[in-house]
Amino acid sequence: MSTKTWTWHTSPNGITTPARDRRTGKVAAIVTPDLPPLKSTEDGPPLPAVFRSPFPATTQSDKARRIMVRPVLDFRSDTATRPSPAMRQAMAEAPVGDDVFDEDPTINRLEETVAALLGKEAAIFVPSGTMSNQIGIRIHCKQGDEVICESNCHVYNYEQAGFAQLGGVVARTVPGVNGVLHVDQLRELIRPDNCHFVRTRLVSLENTHNRGGGKVWPYEQLADVCEWAHENGLATHLDGARLWNASIATGISMADWAKHFDTVSVCFSKGLGAPVGSALVGTKKHIAEADRHRKLFGGGMRQAGVIAAGALYGVEHNFQRLAEDHFNAKRLADGIRQIPGLKLVPDEVDTNLVIFQIDPRLEPAAEFVARLKEQGLIAGSFGRNNVRLVTHLDVTTADVDAALAILRRVCAADLRELPPSAAAKTAYA
Ligand SMILES: Cc1ncc(COP(=O)(O)O)c(C=O)c1O
């Protein structure tokens, strides 16, 4: 039987306390001051605090539980939000039926609401943005077809190229500026009708652009690309996981963005704060086809009105408030601009995603992010020197200020620790 013991303490700023294995010194869990300290265990390391609410659900209000299980400052993604008590109540009370038979009244209401909001004939509720995008591509392309997309887009980079694995479709990627393309980059890309070539069928865009730092497409530029695509017999699909943010940031309605596309995917589980779900919208014919593909991919759900109710609640209550996330992201960006060793990319923050590069002395990004986590700030990293922070429903302006304090502290400590000679050799681009 193991007799390991674990230690923790509350830091002066009261934000975080790494629990460490006394013997190895390794961080085992992050403990918030709200939580009672973890006890030493006899059968292995304790679970991270986030999984260890000591209060049974029945004896704590949702609000209290939400606060209690909040681990640290989680800026990794807007997918990190937890359903609020009111959202949970809506979910608990949702009327349900079997959605594979189109008999779930809550899902039907969600689909009608979203189709109307995006100015399309129909919508279909699916479990994830990935499924929604892949069904969208599949509707327009068959084996041996090609989709044109931006090099850093989600459908190509983060969905295992499902269109290739599941549908025999190939992608032609085009580098954009923060995810945004110009129609002139595409004009020569349509393959000739010749037995040597795949068939160019679809243009897929992303707005806002995730790897582009939440960039909102300039409206006319997006309209030009779609107009060109349609004039040339290509279909258009939009990965609008965060189209909500684009709409709030610009004042351009969801329908005005969506009207340029044959199909649009939107997510409820990001800025809108729902725990699950996305929708694909388009013509009735497209969505009838999508229904078949959803079943094929295993996404036909039964009494899923309980989760659709969370999505509906998000659309009805959390859409307008995205402006707060944008305000917080701009505040975060303003602070980051002042921190030696950090550089925003892009410099302007349009919505709720903030990406910055770190000075080579702070690299690699994965280790930098691990140091932030020890201080209580959870961030995302990609590549050697990119870090991403995302503002969302569960991040307050005070959290932004706390995050900035941690960034300042970690950067100052790390830059100081390097010998001046080594520091002098590194060029910061
Ligand atoms: C732009 C974009 N599209 C699609 C997705 C996929 O959504 P899901 O995680 O629900 O599959 C994400 C997820 O982060 C995203 O950022």
- Point out the domain boundary residue: 255, 284, 317: 317
SS3 content of the chain, % helix, strand, coil (to 5): 40, 20, 40
Same domain, yes or no: 192 and 304: yes
pLDDT of residue 419: 56
Domain boundary among 264, 287, 317: 317
At residue 281, does pLDDT exceed 90? yes
More confident residue, 295 or 427: 295
Residue 69 resides in a domain: no
Residue that finishes a domain, picked among 317, 352, 375: 317
- What is the residue type of 28? A
Which residue would you say has higher pLDDT here, 324 or 427? 324
Measured in whole angstroms, how far is the alpha carbon of residue 336 from the centre of its chain?
Answer: 21
For 206-262, write each residue's pLDDT tens digit: 999 999 999 999 999 999 999 999 999 999 999 999 999 999 999 999 999 999 999
Give the integer Cα–Cα distance in Å for 41 and 198: 60
Does the residue 328 lie in any domain?
Answer: yes
- Residue 137 sits in the same domain as residue 249: yes
Instruction: Tell me which of 132, 134, 154 to substitute to probe ligand 1's pocket, judged by most ligand atoms within 8 Å of the beta carbon.
Output: 154
Backbone φ, ψ for residue 357 (5° rounding): -100, 150
Q: Are 261 and 326 part of one and the same domain?
A: no
- Residue 187 covered by a domain: yes
Residue 427 lies in a domain: no
List phi, psi (to 5°) of 238. -115, 125
248 and 326 in a single domain? The answer is no
- Give the residue-averaged pLDDT of 13-32: 44
For residue 70 the two structure tokens come to 């909040």
The reply to whether 306 falls in a domain is yes
For 305-314, write each residue's pLDDT tens digit. Answer: 999 999 999 9
Q: Are residues 26 and 155 in the same domain?
A: no
Whether residue 1 is contained in a domain is answered as no
Residues β-bridged to residue 380: 388
Percent of the chain at pLDDT above 90? 79
Q: Are residues 91 and 240 in the same domain?
A: yes
In a domain, 79, yes or no: no
CATH number at residue 126: 3.40.640.10
Query: What count of residues does the chain have?
Result: 429
Q: Are 113 and 37 found together in one domain?
A: no
Same domain, 398 and 282: no
**Cβ–Cβ under 8 Å, residues 249 and 327:** no
Quick one: 299 and 181 in the same domain?
A: yes
Taking the CA of residue 153 as reference, the ligand 1 atom at the shortest distance is: 1
Rounded alpha-carbon distances, angstroms, from residue 34 to 31, 63, 257: 8, 13, 43
- With respect to residue 425, please indicate whether it lies within any of the assigned structural domains: no
Measured in Å, residue 239 CA sits from the centre of ligand 1 at 8
Q: Measuring from each residue's beta carbon to the nearest atom of ligand 1, which residues come in under 6 Å?
A: 128-130, 133, 154, 206, 210, 239, 241, 267, 269, 278
Instruction: Compute, in angstroms, the gap from residue 372 CA to the centroid of ligand 1.
Output: 24
Residue 77 CA: nearest ligand 1 atom is 14
* Class of residue 59 by CB neighbours under 10 A (exposed 0-12, middle 13-18, buried 19+): exposed
Residues 313 and 329 placed together within one structural domain of the fold:
no
Residues 386 and 379 sit within 8 Å (Cβ to Cβ): no
Domain that holds residue 32: 6-52
For residue 185, what are the β-bridge partners? none
Task: Confirm if 387 and 379 have CB atoms less than 8 A apart.
Answer: yes
Q: 3-state class of 173 per DSSP? A: strand
Q: Strand 278-282 relative to strand 342-344: parallel, antiparallel, unpaired?
A: unpaired
- The average pLDDT across 330-338 equals 98
Q: Are 164 and 140 in contact (CB under 8 A)?
A: no
pTM of the model: 0.83
Q: Given a cut of 70, is residue 355 above it in pLDDT?
A: yes
Residues 29 and 145 in one domain: no
CATH of the domain at 359: 3.90.1150.10
Count up the domains in the chain and report the number. Answer: 3
Please indicate, yes or no, whether residues 163 and 266 belong to a single structural domain of this protein.
Answer: yes
Tell me the chain's radius of gyration from C-alpha atoms: 23
* Distance in angstroms (rounded) separating the CA atoms of residues 57 and 308: 22
DSSP string, 198-231: PEEEEEEEESSBTTTTSBPPPHHHHHHHHHHHHH
Q: From CA 78, how far away is CA 321, in angstroms rounded? A: 13
